[in-house]
Structure 1
Amino acid sequence: MKKRLIALGALSTMSGVAQAQTGVTLYGVIDGSVEYVNRVAAAATTPGAGGSRFGMPSVGGLSASRWGLRGVEDLGGGTQALFVLESGFQWDTGSLSSAPLFNRQSYLGVQNKSYGKLTFGRQYNAFFDGMANFAPLRFAATYEPGIWWMGLDYRADNMVKYTSQFGPLQAAAHFSFGTGVAVQNAAVVLANGGAGEVPGHFSDNTSYGGSLMYLNSTGFGVSVGADVWRPAAVTGQPGKVSKYGVAALYNTGPFKFTAGYRYNKGELANGNTLLRDDYWWAGVNYQATPALGLSLAYYYADMKAARATATAPQTSPPNMQQVSFLADYNFSKRTDVYLSLGYARNGGLSFDSAATAFAFKYPPMTGQKSMVGVTVGLRQIF
């Protein structure tokens, strides 16, 4: 694959850093595909119905379609003001992927080459900033368990985030006064829509975390990160979701190797465990020609404990596994075509489940042991 900064899912998290002059830029990506999936339920609420599905998924195979505006203003002395407004949309219908308009990112801030960047608003958290470069498929919208890995709060409202670069070392930290995530998982709806910022209940729906990422010019990288989220199903009674991760990558010639581990524990307000798992991944990318890149990835979730609902008894679900393959051919720096395949065992593709609020639209059928998906698509960046 051509080397790009972070996955396209985080395309604008680096916005403004390299710009040196005042200006506003319109940017975006449109990614459309045709997909075949077998053994997928008609809906998460009707897992007994379903079968094979063939059609156009609303989210692209590699990137979620979006458009945005980003701008910087030179304030002198190496300091700049900046903003990003980014909106997702469904490429197949043109409708917004969800309300409000700038549902992906909406933040402003200041940055200085010597002191770093401070931003305020809806944005990716520091855990995501530290981990996304280590995704084997560059945080692909299809067939990569991104939300399972990062958590439902990987992008959150009401956030203050600080990022600084010290040569090859990037440090980031964030605090959200209210994440704006509506559910803890598909079965636990949060009070106040997860907005937080409730008078007298400061901890409700807050999140905080940080990451340290080292990427050098010789092709070696390593990162550690953490995120703690306090979702409140009942006002004044927040639970706790804790994620900790470590990842590494190595480039040598046409090959890139990535691997990592993420710990997760989700707790209800009464201390009962909602979900506990260890997530592992490994991948290899091979630049076969200047235009053609091939990727192969393996994902594994060691399921320790889970509850189907907040009041259900604790169970130990089967461990989920997935193998993904991607062939991506670049016509230019802006346009590529791709073929992607995924095979999942003991769950839906991308580990789609109650824990991801079925965000990927791959709810497994009752009794289903495996799921296969194939998608072919075209992507253009502008």
Structure 2
Amino acid sequence: MARRVPTLTGSLPSRWGMRGSEDLGNGLRAVFTLEQGFAPDSGVLGQGRTFGRQAFVGLAGSWGSITLGRQYTMLFWSLLDAEVMGPNVYGPGSLDSYIPNARADNAIAYRGTFNGLTLGATYSLGRDAVNLGPGPAGTNCAGENAADKEACRAWSVLAKYDAASWGAALAVDRLRGGPGAFAGLTASHLGDSRVSANGYVKLGATKLGGGVVRRNNDASPTPESDLWYVGVTHPVTPQFIVDAQLARLNIKDSANQATLLALRGSYLLSKRTLVYATAGRLANDGTLALSVSAGAPGSNPVAGDSQTGVMLGIRHVF
């Protein structure tokens, strides 16, 4: 058993940025977002670039929005309501590191909501221009290669419906490889696909959520896997909120499996500030060596071992 305390930025990734819009008349607006991730203990930039979380400009209206730049894929938007832990260090991202890093460079995106129904799509000509070592934040797949037009392209689609007390979402996310790309996707005929289906229901103040992400990775000798998760969030008092989630990664035709259990308590000191405590336990089977706190470098246990983590922190939103 391995025990460790993760680095800072655990409940939600630390970031700052700017959003703006200009009224162009007749219901049309120009919009932009610049969002930068950083490590608050050292000041180091996240995602290997200045505005690594989002950097886009576009137009918006009653019909939705069209934006261009570095932005989230539809897989990210599909998970926001049903996955109760969110981008917490002890979350499904510990079992699939792409989930909290589902972004694309050089992307055009559409998203619109109509009477509870949200539709969206992204298409990228070169999904990730940064070489950040083998890791999801910079995958060295810039694309836009005249010799191979399909290299490093990516697309995603979303259909999501939200009612007053329940909701459901379906998303598809597809990455293509390219020369020198990480994670084994070294050619454009190799791809990595994820299909996400999830839902949630509200029972008074309590919310139950769950879903599955089915993956097919051409670069893996065992390409097919399912990541299941189910969770609950409940306000014990208006100031004290408890979240719990169980997640399971099943890799088909393999002994490699992993199970993650996470529990979080948050206490609101004000509308913008809270303190939190989170505990997580991840059990690996086979040769898997996934870390309970995947956001912390060098934290992986011995293959097949279990790991427990405890995290205390404060979050301020401004």
TM-score (structure 2 length as normaliser): 0.89
Name 1:29's counterpart in structure 2.
Answer: none
Name 1:120's counterpart in structure 2.
Answer: 68
Conservation of the 8 A alpha-carbon contact between 1:242 and 1:266: yes
- Could you say what secondary structure the match of 2:271 adopts? coil
Name 1:371's counterpart in structure 2.
Answer: 307
Q: Where in structure 2 are there 5+ consecutive unaligned residues?
A: 181-185
Conservation of the 8 A alpha-carbon contact between 1:107 and 1:120: yes
Name 1:221's counterpart in structure 2.
Answer: 167
Conservation of the 8 A alpha-carbon contact between 2:13 and 2:87: no
Query: Following the alignment from structure 2 to structure 1, what is the Cα–Cα distance between the partners of residues 274 and 197?
Result: 31
Conservation of the 8 A alpha-carbon contact between 1:324 and 1:340: yes
2:240 to 282, 287, 292: 292
Alignment of 1:251 with 2:189, yes or no, is: no
Cα pair distance change 1:184/1:93, threshold 3 Å: closer
Matches within 5 A, 1:79-228: 79-113=28-62, 115-140=63-88, 142-146=89-93, 148=96, 150-151=98-99, 154-180=102-128, 186=134, 193-217=140-164, 219-228=165-174
Conservation of the 8 A alpha-carbon contact between 1:136 and 1:284: yes
* CA RMSD, 1 decimal: 2.5
Q: Where in structure 1 are there 5+ consecutive unaligned residues?
A: 1-37, 40-51, 306-315, 353-358
Name 1:322's counterpart in structure 2.
Answer: 260
Conservation of the 8 A alpha-carbon contact between 2:244 and 2:262: yes
Cα pair distance change 1:248/1:185, threshold 3 Å: farther
Cα pair distance change 1:243/1:326, threshold 3 Å: same
Per the TM alignment, residue 335 of structure 1 is displaced from its structure 2 partner at its CA by: 0.2
Per the TM alignment, residue 367 of structure 1 is displaced from its structure 2 partner at its CA by: 4.3
Per the TM alignment, residue 136 of structure 1 is displaced from its structure 2 partner at its CA by: 1.7
Conservation of the 8 A alpha-carbon contact between 2:231 and 2:243: yes
Conservation of the 8 A alpha-carbon contact between 1:320 and 1:351: no
Q: Tell me the amino acid that sits aligned with residue 57 of structure 1.
A: T
- Could you say what secondary structure the match of 2:110 adopts? strand
Per the TM alignment, residue 153 of structure 1 is displaced from its structure 2 partner at its CA by: 5.8
Conservation of the 8 A alpha-carbon contact between 2:198 and 2:211: yes
Query: Following the alignment from structure 2 to structure 1, what is the Cα–Cα distance between the partners of residues 208 and 47?
Result: 35
What are the Cα deviations for residues 338-370 of structure 1, in whole angstroms up to 9, with x where unaligned?
000000000434484xxxxxx543643334521
Query: Following the alignment from structure 2 to structure 1, what is the Cα–Cα distance between the partners of residues 150 and 100?
Result: 18
Conservation of the 8 A alpha-carbon contact between 2:292 and 2:308: no
Per the TM alignment, residue 242 of structure 1 is displaced from its structure 2 partner at its CA by: 0.9
Q: Tell me the amino acid that sits aligned with residue 171 of structure 1.
A: L
Conservation of the 8 A alpha-carbon contact between 1:265 and 1:273: no
What are the Cα deviations for residues 146-202 of structure 1, in whole angstroms up to 9, with x where unaligned?
3717548611100100001111111111101111166899499x99x2111111311
1:260 to 189, 205, 211: 211
- Could you say what secondary structure the match of 2:145 adopts? coil
Per the TM alignment, residue 98 of structure 1 is displaced from its structure 2 partner at its CA by: 4.1
Per the TM alignment, residue 246 of structure 1 is displaced from its structure 2 partner at its CA by: 0.5
Conservation of the 8 A alpha-carbon contact between 1:127 and 1:150: no
Name 1:69's counterpart in structure 2.
Answer: 18
Cα pair distance change 1:83/1:136, threshold 3 Å: same
Name 1:303's counterpart in structure 2.
Answer: 251
Query: Following the alignment from structure 2 to structure 1, what is the Cα–Cα distance between the partners of residues 32 and 234?
Result: 36
Query: Following the alignment from structure 1 to structure 2, what is the Cα–Cα distance between the partners of residues 99 and 183?
Result: 8
Query: Following the alignment from structure 2 to structure 1, what is the Cα–Cα distance between the partners of residues 152 and 264?
Result: 36
TM-score (structure 1 length as normaliser): 0.74
Query: Following the alignment from structure 2 to structure 1, what is the Cα–Cα distance between the partners of residues 71 and 299?
Result: 27
Query: Following the alignment from structure 1 to structure 2, what is the Cα–Cα distance between the partners of residues 277 and 284?
Result: 24
Deviates more, 1:223-232 or 1:176-185: 176-185
**Number of equivalences:** 307
Name 1:240's counterpart in structure 2.
Answer: 191
Deviates more, 1:176-185 or 1:319-328: 176-185
Cα pair distance change 1:149/1:221, threshold 3 Å: farther
Query: Following the alignment from structure 2 to structure 1, what is the Cα–Cα distance between the partners of residues 133 and 177?
Result: 10
Q: Tell me the amino acid that sits aligned with residue 91 of structure 2.
A: E
Query: Following the alignment from structure 2 to structure 1, what is the Cα–Cα distance between the partners of residues 133 and 259?
Result: 20
Conservation of the 8 A alpha-carbon contact between 1:329 and 1:336: yes
Query: Following the alignment from structure 2 to structure 1, what is the Cα–Cα distance between the partners of residues 315 and 230?
Result: 25
